[in-house]
Chain A
Amino acid sequence: MGLILAMAGNAVGLGNFLRFPVQAIQNGGGAFIIPYLVCFLLMGIPLLWIEWATGRFGGSKGHHSTPFILDAMDKRKFWKYIGVFGIFTNLAVAAYYCYLESWTLNYVWNAITGTFRGETAESVSNYFNAYVNAGDAHQHWSAWIADNPAPIIFWVVCLVLNTWILSKGLSGGVEKVAKIGMPLLIVFGVFLAIMSISLKSGQHGAVYGGSEGLNFLWTPDFSTIWNPKVWLAAAGQIFFTLSVGMGSIQCYASYVRKKDDIALNAMSAGWMNEFVEVVLGAAIIIPISVGYLGVDKVVEMTRTGGLGLGFRTLPFLFEQWGTTLAVICGVFWFGLLFFAGITSSLAMGTPWMGFMQDEFGWSRSKGAWSFGAIVLILGLPTVLFFNQGVFDEYDYWAGTVSLVVFALGETILFAWIFGMDKGWREINAGGDIQVPIVFKFIIKYVTPTLLLLVFLGALITPEGNDWVGAFQNGWKLDNGSIIKQLLNTGIKDQMQMSREAGDLVTYDALKTKLLYVNGARLLLLAVFFGVAWLVSKAYFKRVKSGKII
């Protein structure tokens, strides 16, 4: 039970409450739900089983991190380098995720101190913009820190808290937090959902009823069901929300005993995550935001930034419920989000720690504090240069592309190289439920095909996401495609336009941004190759000691 709560705590994160509603809004409301649920059934659930089975199999061979878990599944030596993704992604995502977490902590503080009391909706929204873009107002980052140290202070507090809990151990730290936090999270989520659904036009300053937002979200639009953009967004959300393709699930599962259940565990954690996301997550931010701001305004706000919607709108809305309720709701809501975030970021520390403990004999404490140090170095640019796009670079390359690449690799390894018959036995071994046989077919054929389509779709996205037009009139890549992102075409186009318009200020700003974007990528590459070097060193250490012949 403790493990399931820990796993659910890992899966239930900021994505459930902040990212899911925004994704739904950005992708046409009701049009999003059907592809999302299909992706959950055909990609999310199979990946959960694959990762749990892979992790438990590796754990039975004494491995607790993805490089050697994957290495144990096939004779070919390159798999351990695919497994590098399972450590790299966690380090890189933790680097920016901790900053996201620190926003919630800051908003708990703001709720207690009454920062938003008597403020207008616009000024509450502007507070968030000023907080994350504080560097804009200063010539140099050192001046910014001296003037407004809050973003740095809250970020460091978050990082130290994460590291300290990790140093206390997997069961001692994560499970205790999950056991206390999960029920609290669900209870308060239900309370907020009821408050938002029952919102009526004219009540507490609301312009529309809560049902307006629900209507927007749940009205199905079957005409867009074949739009690959919506499918890509749905698949991306499934990855983000279930924490699949990261390597942290394998790390948890590697501590599960050989004859213990994983089939039911994976299902319980996965469906609990869906419950929090679809039932609670969908019923909070959208109805409240639409109720006070209207559909058009909410759609417009999500265009300029995804995860910020909850921070921009909810503190103002809480204030409309009276001072006492505003403080209580602010503390509980952002505290709840902080908890949801910290359980996820704690899970990101375990692959690195497991690897260093297994391969280099490090103590848990040394592993945890070294994780904290890496995240500190890697994460500092996301805080200082957020407005230069460093945060978004991390999110795109580590938090999106790497997840799909790793998931595709591990699915092919599991279903086609390790073998589906053997894999099926691994999934069902010790199972408290019998997995429906149809999933044997899905895992072997449907899941890898879908993953490949998602990856190719992102790699060669046609201009304007116009797939039909691309097939008919020739393929021109969109600036959002992986290839064009890699070439920085979007920024370079903007630079050219501003130079042609004689706007040298914008040109210089974009030139600086390009420098930071490339710097962020180099930093990520350095981490990836650093981990690969450690894996290689660990491999030769094993060969030398006779563990591998």
Chain B
Amino acid sequence: MAGTAVLGRLTWRVADVVSAVAETASARTLVLDVPGWAGHQPGQHVDLRLTAADGYSTQRSFSIANAAAGSRVELTVQRVAGGEVSTYLVDEVRAGDQIELRGPVGGYFVWRPEWTDPVLLLAGGSGIVPLMAIARARAAAPAPAPTPAFASAQRSPSSSKSNQAAPKPVYGRLGSLMPARAACSSKTPDPLFT
């Protein structure tokens, strides 16, 4: 069935943190090895579960940033001020730690290698992460379709209310990896795209 992503029970798996790569001052990529991972489609996400020593537990969803590659899953996480999970993932987790996750989840916002139509990818802020998975899968495809355009911009947190400070692009390094033209706006995003 086209778009079908979840076939059976999505069981919790224990992922090993292989490395943590800083992307910007507020975002980093966790490179995970997930034994038993059956692969994923670009655009899908995982549910991640953290558990404290006393049993307290919480979950969040995170987009996958890499194209499918065996048991390797990369999650690029943007720190949210005061975020219960994002601050832990960006500031605390290190290689050798273990994290529980289940997935892949989501069968709608995906791109398939057999699709040959041109693609326009537009994102705001951390919304770029699933688009990076798509861009990377496209770059690895045997005959990539015409170049996608691509943009990501985000207001700085301090500007969200005042509308004063200029928004800052937060994924410059990721953007530079694009096989296509990367456009990170340094001005207020055009209302058409926000």
Asked if A pairs with B, the answer is no
Q: Spell out A's residues near B (CB within 8 Å).
A: none
